[in-house]
Amino acid sequence: MSVEKIMSDWKNQSFRPVYWLEGEEDYFIDQLVNYAEHNILNEPEAEFNLTVFYGKDANWAEVINACKRYPMFAERQVVILKEAQQMRELEKLESYIQNPLASTILVVSYKEKKVDARTKFAKLLKEKGELFSTKKMYDNQLPNWTNNFVQSRGYSIQPKALHLLVEHIGNDLSRIANEIEKLLINIGKRKEITEDDIETYVGISKEYNVFELQSAIMQKDLSKAVQIIQYFEGNPKAAPIQQILPVLYNFFSKVYMVYGLPSNDDKTIAAGLGVNPFFVKDFKIASVNYDFLSVQKNLLLLHEYNLRSIGVNDSGTPDASLLKELLFKIVN
């Protein structure tokens, strides 16, 4: 079951007695816990019927006792256990989950871990309640998720601004969502987020960033590429080497795929690479400037320099020097 389906059920006053929210993606767990804490009960009901525990400070007996209470002046009560992964003897909640109270909604936030699906406990959770498991989103899913998030707020975002934001932040949905909310507050009545907005309100230079470096390499513009790397050297937080290399590797991997596509038209390339049609021209330019063997060589170089950047076969060459060295080998 998805976050949207669970929230839809809650809005329609349809509840299971137990919700076990687990896994690697905190954002979705936090969404549900926040809604349960602030929206299932109205303010007067919550005063008597909302109990929140934190795993580090609570014990299993306290949680069970709270769950077994009957609601006051309301149809139901909500008991929330946050950071349950930090609670000792958590498995002792099993006795309550086996026979939960219909008037209690127990919401358990169990982050960064998952119960073993083969165990009796996991099967009990599925039988008596809702077991909601999350996993980290793949990097290639982030642009689409981010774009949908912006659209859900009634706005749009320029393709370049979208990718600039995602690549700068990385796989952190909570931070992406927070930055977007901040952008929407600052752009006023406008309905589109631009590159200028990203530069002004998120603090990412629209001239000196990993995508501009990628563009310079794509066009074999050595002078511009060196300029950008020198900017990174003076501003190490702008684009660390471990952020740059995966972007370049992903780019050349897609250029490599272009050679295997049945057609060179924009629609075929966009569908085959799974990219926004806005970026198709970049892959076309790169496939002209770099032949098949050059792309193969560049992928191997990026792998080699990724290893060197973490100290494999390298005695500590500064990141900027590694990037410049790599750049000359790619372009030449």
CATH number of the domain that 189 lies in? 1.10.8.60
Is 1 a residue whose pLDDT tops 80? Answer: no
**Domain coverage including residue 113:** 3-134
Judgement on whether residues 130 and 27 belong to the same structural domain of the protein: yes
- State whether 122 and 13 are in the same domain: yes
C-alpha of 58 from chain center: 30
**Is the domain of 70 the same as that of 171?**
no
Picking from 75, 103, 134, the residue at the C-terminal end of a domain is 134
Contacts of 49 (CB under 8 A, 6+ apart): 41, 71, 72, 73, 74, 76, 77, 78
pLDDT in tens, 293-312: 999 999 999 999 999 999 99
84 and 146 together in one domain: no
CATH number of the CATH domain containing 318: 1.20.272.10
Q: Report residue 138's pLDDT band, with 50, 70 and 90 as the boundaries.
A: confident
**Distance separating alpha carbons of residues 20 and 26, to the nearest angstrom:** 13
Which helix (DSSP H) or strand (DSSP E) does residue 18 occupy?
strand 18-23
Count of structural domains within the chain: 3
Mean pLDDT across the stretch 261-267? 89
Give me the percent of the chain exceeding a pLDDT of 70: 100
3-state helix, strand, coil in the chain (%, to 5): 60, 10, 30
Which pLDDT does position 243 carry in this prediction? 87
Question: Region 183-207: what's the mean pLDDT?
Answer: 91
pLDDT of residue 255: 94
Q: Do 233 and 126 lie in a common domain?
A: no
Q: Are the beta carbons of 98 and 128 closer than 8 angstroms? A: yes
Cβ 245 vs Cβ 214: under 8 Å: no
- pLDDT band (50, 70, 90) for residue 204: confident
Summarised one tens digit per residue, pLDDT across range 160-179 is 999 899 988 888 999 999 99
Residue 237, pLDDT score: 82
Average pLDDT of the residues in 99-114: 93
The sign of the dihedral angle between the CA atoms of 207, 249, 237, 135 is positive
